[in-house]
Structure 1
Amino acid sequence: MKLSILQNVVTVICISAFLNVNAQETNAPQFGKGLFNLVGKDSTFSMKIGLRFQSLATSSWDASNGLSNHEASMLIRRSRLKFDGFAFSPKLKYKLELGLSNRDQSGASKYTHNAPRYILDAVLKWNFSGDFVLWFGQTKLPGNRERVISSANLQQVDRSLLNSRFTIDRDFGIQVRHHFNLTDTFLVKEIFSIAQGEGRNITTGNIGGHQYTTRVELLPFGNFASKGDYKGSDLKFEQNPKLAFGFAYDFNNHAAKTRSNQGSYMANNTGGFYTTNISTLFIDAMYKHKGFSFMAEYASRDAKDAFAKNSDGTALLDSDGDQMIVQIGNGLNLQTGYLLSKTVEVSARYTNISLDKSITGKGTENQYTLGLSKYIAGHSLKVQTDLSYTDIGFKTNQLLYRLQVDIHF
């Protein structure tokens, strides 16, 4: 990579120092609301700068024949710098988020290796008319609810297996967002997105077609407190029931990866790519009331032709010599939590992954997770731990224990 992480951090610090000197106001917000806020002398821009990181320790065992083959690791799971505010007018907002940990930058391929993969989000948000907002840049697509919830605001240590198998994650493109009220309390939100279709930080062209995503959300009892429909746990102790339903459909035209815009590239024997149309459906719900929360998600992926082929029609094999295929199937995730006090929560999760066995050769996975969280300062400073048992079916079952400390300035 041309620039080291240290060089990038120094650059950011220098820019921040320059802005600080030339800004009219520098406000130090409360803990968890950013390191500091900058406002231009003529009030034509603002910038809030934030920092967070997660320290994670894990232990895992094979559980089929006693607890054997123990493995343990400790790492910085995420480390992020965040910048957001407005430019020129409060109607033009922006967000920039940089990932600095090795896990944040993992997943590089020969199509992204020629540049650092620091950028997670880099998006402009223009409120061009009434309740219409146009987003342009790289950011999360409006897919499953669990993915759009920030990793800083999760109810358990990390997201579910449904998210890791079916999410459409981040991409570069355009989104149009709108909301309106059916009644005084019934709120409807709509999102439509057109994206490149190959994931984040792509630097080499557009291999297939484009990716089209639409999402509709129904909130019959109005907005949640503090955008709680996209935060784990009911830390605001909603005094009245709050409910949100979400429906999303994603169509990736001539997708070149095994999981829509995620997974591995299906590169064939002539240096080209096998492409096929991939569609993904998401249905989800979030409910909160007086410290109790419940989230449900369903995902389903299908493809026009799931078996990847070379240009001559022969089977396209992966690095292990197996047939490369699109990961099609269904997933279900059910998750609930209850706050025993304002700072202590117990949670439980059940996840089922059912890939099409006739195509993928893999059976059903069931994962059961129990979690315990201590919120010292809400999601901004918390300690979380969970224990998961995964009944994999087609290979050795697993037991996983995790402990994580999350701090968010």
Structure 2
Amino acid sequence: MNNTINRGLIALSFICLFAFSTQAQTINNSKFGKGLQFMAADSSFSLKFGTRFQLLYQGGQNPATQEWDDRFLVRRARLKFDGFAFSPRLKYKIELGLSNSDIGNDIPDQTNNADNIILDAVAKWQMTPNLELWVGQTKLPGNRERVVSSQKLQFVDRSLLNSRFNLDRDAGLQLHHEHQLGQVVLREIGSIAMGEGRDITVNNTGGYGFTGRVEVLPFGAFKGDGDYVGSDLEREQTPKLSLAASYDFNDNAVRQRAQLGSFLSDTRDLSTWFVDAMFKYRGFSAMGEYANRKAPDGPVVLRDEAGKVQETFVTGSALNLQAGYLLPSNWEVAGRYTDYNPTNATGLRAQNQYTLGISKYIVGHSLKVQSDVSLIEEAGREDRTQFRLQMELAL
């Protein structure tokens, strides 16, 4: 049944695209990497359609067998629609995920109530010049690395900090405010969401999720919104810095990682702190993040008769530091260090990861080839190495 629905949504997307292309008035500024752009003849709405995919090869030596394990897959495949409706003050964004990695990661173990093909479906109303209301499903204002699009990452994929503690997407309301004091840019974001992740199709199981974020840009705004783009492709001519902190409280969370992971048999209140920074100057970029998640009543939900943990929320802390330099030839060399320390009671293993990445940007982040190699140190296990090579193509 779900496959039928998914195929229907995909077919509907292409039917809509064909209808717009034959009946709408085309704007003559479409170019590679910017999607197809359309405007209604009466200017009552606009539409930009884009598509992108990532092809990934991943391999590494298996410490247990001493053999090379590898795979080749479509890491991401997306359809994206955005524009305005009725008035330029009312914008919208729809993004659909088509690959198994997009759809299959977060299907609950116990109930088939998550329709993960829908990544974003959000309306954005510009209430005042400095205040915007978002309604629908989209990324929560958590850690910077998660809000950065997967198309615009500095490495093949996000860090271990992000995979363990990010807030991901959720459905609800967000308020975005921005103002300026001299050259200093200040941003405040508040969110109330369902707390269980994207497009859950049953009644709310636990409580709600409440998120707040504050950003300070002491040297002014980045070119091209570069504070949420990996690498310094704009080659900032003056130093640019963004400092930020986020806090999320998930009341009676029911999933292992708040908005992500398996549904558990009991709930916990989860509180998560993020502190992050982005710096760019003349091709050099650096980003740092710290995350800390706690469950005041203890993260463990279920143990077996021997006392082994069977169900637990993922709590603990993590640190991620990364930096890179973009050469005039648009080759970039970057390094990343990630330290992950789960709460002892969870029984999860601590990890350190050291990553070296080399990227070639052919048309910015719209056409690029990225590779990285990581040394993974995991408590209680033999060290292992992972190699990845990925191509990104976005129209």
Query: What's the CA shift for 1:171?
Result: 0.4
Q: Is the 8 A contact 1:306 1:328 kept in 2?
A: no
Is 1:11 aligned to residue 12 of structure 2?
yes
In 2: Cα distance, 1:25 partner to 1:372 partner: 38
Q: Deviations over 1:226-280 (max 9, x none)?
A: 000000000110000000001000000111122222222112xxxxxx1111000
In 1: Cα distance, 2:281 partner to 2:377 partner: 32
Which residue does the alignment assign to 2:54? 54
Say how many residue pairs are matched: 392
Is 1:361 aligned to residue 325 of structure 2?
no
In 1: Cα distance, 2:142 partner to 2:304 partner: 30
Q: Is the 8 A contact 1:353 1:365 kept in 2?
A: yes
Q: Is the 8 A contact 2:103 2:116 kept in 1?
A: yes
In 1: Cα distance, 2:228 partner to 2:304 partner: 40
Alignment of 1:241-280 (within 5 A): 241-267=239-265, 274-280=266-272
Which residue does the alignment assign to 1:380? 366
Which residue does the alignment assign to 1:271? none
Query: What's the CA shift for 1:117?
Result: 2.2
The one of 284, 297, 303 aligned to 1:305 = 297
Which residue does the alignment assign to 1:27? 28
3-state DSSP class of the match of 2:312? coil
Q: Deviations over 1:319-371 (max 9, x none)?
A: x97332221111000000001224100000000001122x1223431000000
Q: Deviations over 1:66-114 (max 9, x none)?
A: x813211000000000000000001000000000011100121257635
Which residue does the alignment assign to 2:391? 405
3-state DSSP class of the match of 2:137? strand
Which residue does the alignment assign to 1:71? 69
Query: What's the CA shift for 1:22?
Result: 2.3
CA pair 122-182 structure 1, distance change in 2 beyond 3 A: same
The one of 305, 315, 318 aligned to 1:328 = 315
Which residue does the alignment assign to 2:138? 139
Q: Deviations over 1:18-37 (max 9, x none)?
A: 12222123435111001x11
In 1: Cα distance, 2:139 partner to 2:377 partner: 30
3-state DSSP class of the match of 1:47? strand
In 2: Cα distance, 1:251 partner to 1:193 partner: 11
The one-letter amino acid of 2:125's match is W
Query: What's the CA shift for 1:2?
Result: 5.0
The one-letter amino acid of 2:70's match is A
Q: Is the 8 A contact 1:111 1:202 kept in 2?
A: no
Query: What's the CA shift for 1:396?
Result: 3.1
3-state DSSP class of the match of 1:44? coil
Q: Is the 8 A contact 1:3 1:116 kept in 2?
A: no
Which residue does the alignment assign to 2:337? 350
Which residue does the alignment assign to 2:207? 209
Q: Is the 8 A contact 1:224 1:242 kept in 2?
A: yes
Q: Give structure 2 stretches of 5+ with no counterpart.
A: none
Q: Is the 8 A contact 2:276 2:290 kept in 1?
A: yes
Which residue does the alignment assign to 2:148? 149
Query: Which shifted more, 377-386 or 256-265?
Result: 256-265
CA pair 237-116 structure 1, distance change in 2 beyond 3 A: same
Query: Between the two proteins, what is the percent identity of the paired residues?
Result: 48
RMSD of equivalent CA atoms = 1.9
3-state DSSP class of the match of 1:162? helix
In 2: Cα distance, 1:115 partner to 1:255 partner: 16
In 2: Cα distance, 1:208 partner to 1:115 partner: 15
The one-letter amino acid of 2:147's match is V
Q: Give structure 1 stretches of 5+ with no counterpart.
A: 268-273, 310-314
Q: Is the 8 A contact 2:110 2:263 kept in 1?
A: no
The one-letter amino acid of 2:269's match is N
CA pair 176-70 structure 1, distance change in 2 beyond 3 A: same
In 1: Cα distance, 2:194 partner to 2:115 partner: 19
Q: Is the 8 A contact 1:2 1:116 kept in 2?
A: no
Query: What's the CA shift for 1:397?
Result: 2.2
In 2: Cα distance, 1:405 partner to 1:380 partner: 10
The one-letter amino acid of 2:387's match is Y
Query: What's the CA shift for 1:17?
Result: 1.4
The one of 214, 217, 220 aligned to 2:218 = 220
